[in-house]
Structure 1
Amino acid sequence: MKGFLHKAKEQVQSTLQKDQQQPSKPHPPPPVPGSKPVFLQHNAVQTDQPSSISEPTPLDVIRYRYHHGTNLGSIYVLEKWLHPSMFPGNAASNQSSELEAVKLWVSQIGIDAARVKFEAHWANAISSSDFDWLANTAKCTTIRLPIGYFTLGPAFCQGTDFAPYQSVYNSAWSSVQTLVFQARAHGIGVLLDLHALPGGANGGDHSGTNSGVANFWTSSPNLDLGRRCAEFLAHAVSSGLDGVVGIQLCNEANWEAPNMYNWYDTCIAAISAIDPSIPVYISDGWNLNKALDYVAKKNSTAAATTPVVVDTHYYWAFTDADKAKTPQTIISEASNKLSDLDGKEGSVIDRGAVQAVVGEYSCVMTEDSWAKRGGTDKAELVKQFGQAQSTRYQQRSGGSYFWTYKMDWLPGGEWGFVACTSSGAITAPFNLSFSPSDISDRLNNANSLRESLMRAAVSSHVAYWDRTAPGTSFEHWRYENGWKVGFSDAYAFFSTRTGKGLSSQGGDKIGCLEIWVLKRVRESGMRGGLVWEFEQGLRAGIKDFYGAVGI
């Protein structure tokens, strides 16, 4: 296996050096279905630069594979409904947030004892046996970890509502680091989610307080502190916090939150200046289409900024409109989510890279909906609901994270990842269950088909353009080049778990395909009007590999 990857890498590097200094000629854009090709003329000659493409690393795999995962909620940002044991018995219904919990404990047992209590909660949040279950039974690749600005330590509490209790958080960040390293040791990546921002990105208690308002977006000091939090995380990741999938700037921003995209711009620029390889995740603010348009502009081939991913959430348990629906209607809706992506993927050259993940979802419906199930067994409908979501998100997103893994009342019912995984409602991609011998057999088959698949793909590409644009000058070597890179990349992702510090079972698939393609196009060094041939070849090589291994 290593020998093949080494040979493939050499072939890719050799091919990428070919004609590197030749000017690129004017090009026709890739065809849009149902339209006639339009040929663009470019007067400026652009010269290819040296390629920096190399074999995908284990960290590349952790960041760009499909993320089948769960949230680890109410650990570093408490929510009373999940962990009532972390609240004093006299906590009122409107005292359900992290701030209220720490305030109440400090008032009752003192700040030192409160610190010990919180440290114990963090330390016991997830054990080695938990990680074993997540990796080997649930087939998780990733955890989404909600944290607060206060989790980063006393320096980030100053000037905020948490200032009087800042010493409780002396070791909070070191606890997060320990958790990330433990997850990495089990082959699991971690998405660091700034769930609680100063002032609140929304009015929910999961923003850290019970204020009921979102004061983050209209406060310059809060916005500045939020940026410094993002920079802190970027420095930590860049300095060796291995296994971090990305940094999420905020959770569930309010609809049309003022200054949101300007603040995203600021944070993305700051993180890019520190380490442009770290993926950044943004909340869609409940407006997925607008967020997708935003990341399409950010993820251009010309920019050198970090890749940006949209986080969207799907629940059917809160609105009056959802209460009026039958479970069967909701299951049907779940099967068609993420259609906002239609027509926005497939060509980062002219559309930018549009990538989305489902950062939160559950198998919960309202009692009003369950009352309309028409006599169908509820457990069966829960299973259908979860499977519909699992299937759809695996088809159309870069990953999905169930809400949530831990609570005082395990296994958690329709809110619980344990319960829904155990019942078969939530299902992992089937390739994550392949045995090592099965993976080896599939890789051998792909290897045996490689040359014939490449010849067929290149011949089909050339023939198409000979028919579509006869007499036009192309550079089809770029397509072949891209095909080789794509096939080898998919091969590397699928085979990386063996002997490289990831789980030994299962084969990973490039799930965040659009931003992976963006990364490869940027690294190719190619310039000018015919880079689209490299991109389309890259996509074809990836697709052909998956056909060869049957996923």
Structure 2
Amino acid sequence: MKSIIDHAKRRISNVTDSNPAPSQSPQATTTSTPHASSIRPVTRQDIFRYRYHHGTNLGSIFVLERWLFPSLFSAPGDSELAAVTSSLSEIGLDKTKERWENHWNSALSDDDIRFLVHEARCTSIRLPIGYFTLGPAFCQETPFEAAADVYVSAWAAVCKLVRRVNDAGIGVLLDLHALPGGANKDMHSGTDSGKAELWDHWNTGKKNREMAKKVVLQVVSQAGNMEGIVGVQIVNEAAAGAHKLHEWYDDVLREILDIDPTMPIYVSDAWDLESSLRWVENKKHRGGNPVVVDTHKYYTFSEADRAKAPQHIISQVPHELGEMDKYVGSVHDRGAAQIIIGEYSCVLDGRTWSRSDPSQKDELVRQFGNVQSERWREKSGGTYFWTAKMEWMDGGEWGFFEQVKKRTIVAPPWLFLNPSDVQHRADEATRSKEFTFSRALGSHVEYWSQTAPGKKFEHHWYGDGWDVGWEDAKCFWFARADGHMGEVASSSGGAEKIGCLEIWVQKRLRESGKEGGSVWEWEHGFRAGVKAFEGMVGV
């Protein structure tokens, strides 16, 4: 590497640094001995967890909602508890178990999985589960206690589903949609109580949070032994203003650290993304599990959106998530601010549609889906459409299958490349690697020599980081072609991209062993190397 660095320095001319400066001014380098690097080649598990996640929610399978599967409901109520309670009353335990097990095990047919791989080009699915999904022991002292025996084989059904999609190269984000007490007031929290008692201010809330923590720890413990798990979402759609939300996150994360410090942990933004990003910014999280903030983007529920025309909503999507710009790009300084869009759809309210020509609806839906696909790809580490399965397939504007068939929801272009294109683009990039590196390092050295003359830097750290970043991006790129994602995924062609870049940078920075005042140079170089390779292959 030293000879390449010397070569790059000799090539310096009147070039300005095209990379942004770090968020804080570089300090004079303090004397420190870096730890030995523990960076290893990218693994299959790394790719499952850190690539761009293009996917869908599986929906009302392990946490029922009447509007998606009404035939499983025979009495008033819209939640899982209402459905299972009425079924037990009407047909008894054995037949209810059989009915529920059939529902779980038929969630995705082989044809469905082939569609997700070859047509939708999914890389992962988000799988909503409940605390009751873990079985009878976790139903005790909860509203599901009387129905506990229905769930004896629920977790086994989850594991079977994970194995089936993993064999096809699709990962799974385990989403704790229903927690004790309810994280929100809606029926998808498991009951029709209309309460979010997970966040209660009194002893009930404290008890529920302790129970919920045990549920999370159990899922993380089990998930660590399962191939293809993208991460564990410890809560879905926490109620806005949830009491002790971040305090509970901190508490749970501390204990997860002792079980599996590598598992990516997804958290709800509780409808306040800015607040959650500020929480992530807290440096104490840099020593623990990678954390991803899940935010949901819907345009059909608020009165403000109902008062807009479809064209107005479509025009505002390209400006969404602008707050991300001030939180990304400096893991060494602020921590890793990584988000995904855990739920979105192509649905707009009837009042919104009333403000447009009905003959334009299909085209407007297509525009709405396309612009969301593009914007969320620019600003997040992945997206999960709501939803894949319902009785009324293909699902209209709520239906992933229908929107894929109509080319309304479109996978990232790199997932459609044929194997020869993947190889050719990488070959072209490799041929220009040394020149690209020399120019980047030369610009970096020149910029800081002029900006902070007399300061001591560790410019070789920039070079080290750049090389690791380039090679990592290349490994992801070839993941399908090299067969790492399995025969089914490889047969569909395509490439992969580091989508969850912020937490990947965080992981690699820790493994680099770099410390001290110049650690920003390694990160700066790493990001530049990733960007350079991706720019050369066109993603």
Do both proteins adopt the same fold according to a TM-score greater than 0.5, normalized to the shorter chain? yes
Residue 263, structure 1, aligned to residue 254, structure 2: no
User: What SS does structure 2 have at the residue aligned with 1:361?
Assistant: strand
User: What SS does structure 1 have at the residue aligned with 2:530?
Assistant: helix
What residue in structure 2 maps to residue 275 of structure 1? 260
Q: 1:500 aligns with which of 484, 490, 496?
A: 484
Note closer, same or farther for the CA distance 1:163–1:393 as it changes in structure 2 (3 Å cut).
same
Q: Within 5 A, what are the aligned runs for 1:117-156?
A: 117-156=99-138
Q: 2:437 aligns with which of 451, 454, 466?
A: 454
Residue 228, structure 1, aligned to residue 214, structure 2: yes
Identify the range of structure 1 (462-471 vs 512-521) with the bigger mean alpha-carbon deviation: 462-471
Residue 207, structure 1, aligned to residue 207, structure 2: no
User: Contact 1:298–1:308 (CA<8 Å) still a contact in 2?
Assistant: no
What residue in structure 2 maps to residue 7 of structure 1? none
Q: CA deviation at 1:130?
A: 1.0
What residue in structure 2 maps to residue 518 of structure 1? 506
Q: 1:358 aligns with which of 334, 341, 349?
A: 341
Distance (whole Å) between structure 1 residues aligned to residue 316 and residue 260 of structure 2: 39
What residue in structure 2 maps to residue 318 of structure 1? 301
What code does the residue aligned with 1:75 have? I
Q: Within 5 A, what are the aligned runs for 1:367-516?
A: 367-374=350-357, 377-498=360-481, 499-502=483-486, 503-504=489-490, 505-516=493-504
Structure 2 gap ranges (5+): 5-18
User: Contact 1:79–1:206 (CA<8 Å) still a contact in 2?
Assistant: yes
Distance (whole Å) between structure 1 residues aligned to residue 432 and residue 460 of structure 2: 20
What code does the residue aligned with 2:508 have? R
Distance (whole Å) between structure 1 residues aligned to residue 284 and residue 417 of structure 2: 33
Distance (whole Å) between structure 2 residues aligned to residue 215 and residue 378 of structure 1: 40
User: What SS does structure 2 have at the residue aligned with 1:335?
Assistant: helix
Distance (whole Å) between structure 1 residues aligned to residue 87 and residue 469 of structure 2: 55
Residue 288, structure 1, aligned to residue 273, structure 2: yes
Note closer, same or farther for the CA distance 1:483–1:162 as it changes in structure 2 (3 Å cut).
same
What residue in structure 2 maps to residue 538 of structure 1? 526
Residue 68, structure 1, aligned to residue 54, structure 2: yes
Distance (whole Å) between structure 1 residues aligned to residue 130 and residue 438 of structure 2: 52
Deviation string 1:383-424 (CA, Å, 9 cap, x unpaired) is 000001000000000001000000000000000001111111
Q: CA deviation at 1:47?
A: 1.7
User: What SS does structure 2 have at the residue aligned with 1:193?
Assistant: strand
User: What SS does structure 2 have at the residue aligned with 1:321?
Assistant: helix
Q: CA deviation at 1:375?
A: 5.8
User: Contact 1:299–1:308 (CA<8 Å) still a contact in 2?
Assistant: no
Distance (whole Å) between structure 2 residues aligned to residue 442 and residue 233 of structure 1: 40
Deviation string 1:188-244 (CA, Å, 9 cap, x unpaired) is 000000000111000100000000111112222211111111111111122x21111
Q: 1:328 aligns with which of 311, 318, 331?
A: 311
Identify the range of structure 1 (392-401 vs 266-275) with the bigger mean alpha-carbon deviation: 266-275
RMSD: 1.8
Q: Within 5 A, what are the aligned runs for 1:72-221?
A: 72-88=58-74, 91-92=75-76, 95-218=77-200, 219-221=205-207
Deviation string 1:71-104 (CA, Å, 9 cap, x unpaired) is 001000000000012112xx22xx1100000000
Note closer, same or farther for the CA distance 1:178–1:96 as it changes in structure 2 (3 Å cut).
same
Distance (whole Å) between structure 2 residues aligned to residue 109 and residue 134 of structure 1: 35
What code does the residue aligned with 2:167 have? A
Higher RCO (CA 8 Å, separation ≥ 6 residues): 2
What residue in structure 1 maps to residue 14 of structure 2? none
What code does the residue aligned with 2:485 have? G
Q: CA deviation at 1:40?
A: 3.5
What residue in structure 2 maps to residue 307 of structure 1? 290
Note closer, same or farther for the CA distance 1:236–1:305 as it changes in structure 2 (3 Å cut).
same
User: Contact 2:28–2:457 (CA<8 Å) still a contact in 1?
Assistant: no
Note closer, same or farther for the CA distance 1:207–1:38 as it changes in structure 2 (3 Å cut).
closer
Distance (whole Å) between structure 2 residues aligned to residue 112 and residue 375 of structure 1: 49
Q: CA deviation at 1:41?
A: 5.3
Q: 1:548 aligns with which of 515, 536, 539?
A: 536
- Scaled by the length of structure 1, the TM-score of the pair is 0.91
**Divergent runs of 4+, >3 A:** 30-33, 37-42
What residue in structure 2 maps to residue 23 of structure 1? none
User: Contact 2:422–2:478 (CA<8 Å) still a contact in 1?
Assistant: yes
What residue in structure 1 maps to residue 516 of structure 2? 528
What code does the residue aligned with 1:518 have? Q
Distance (whole Å) between structure 2 residues aligned to residue 251 and residue 512 of structure 1: 19
User: Structure 1 vs Structure 2: percent identity of aligned residues?
Assistant: 49
User: Contact 1:46–1:527 (CA<8 Å) still a contact in 2?
Assistant: yes
Q: Alignment length, in residue pairs?
A: 516
Distance (whole Å) between structure 2 residues aligned to residue 40 and residue 473 of structure 1: 8
Q: CA deviation at 1:350?
A: 1.0
What code does the residue aligned with 1:228 have? K
Identify the range of structure 1 (246-255 vs 443-452) with the bigger mean alpha-carbon deviation: 443-452
Structure 1 gap ranges (5+): 1-10, 16-29
What residue in structure 2 maps to residue 22 of structure 1? none
Note closer, same or farther for the CA distance 1:425–1:299 as it changes in structure 2 (3 Å cut).
farther
Q: 1:49 aligns with which of 26, 35, 45?
A: 35
What code does the residue aligned with 1:304 have? G
Deviation string 1:474-504 (CA, Å, 9 cap, x unpaired) is 1111000000000000000000112223411
Q: CA deviation at 1:257?
A: 0.6
Distance (whole Å) between structure 1 residues aligned to residue 32 and residue 64 of structure 2: 54
What residue in structure 1 maps to residue 228 of structure 2? 243
What code does the residue aligned with 2:67 have? W
Q: CA deviation at 1:470?
A: 2.0
- Scaled by the length of structure 2, the TM-score of the pair is 0.93
Distance (whole Å) between structure 1 residues aligned to residue 301 and residue 455 of structure 2: 57
What code does the residue aligned with 1:370 have? W
Distance (whole Å) between structure 1 residues aligned to residue 421 and residue 66 of structure 2: 45
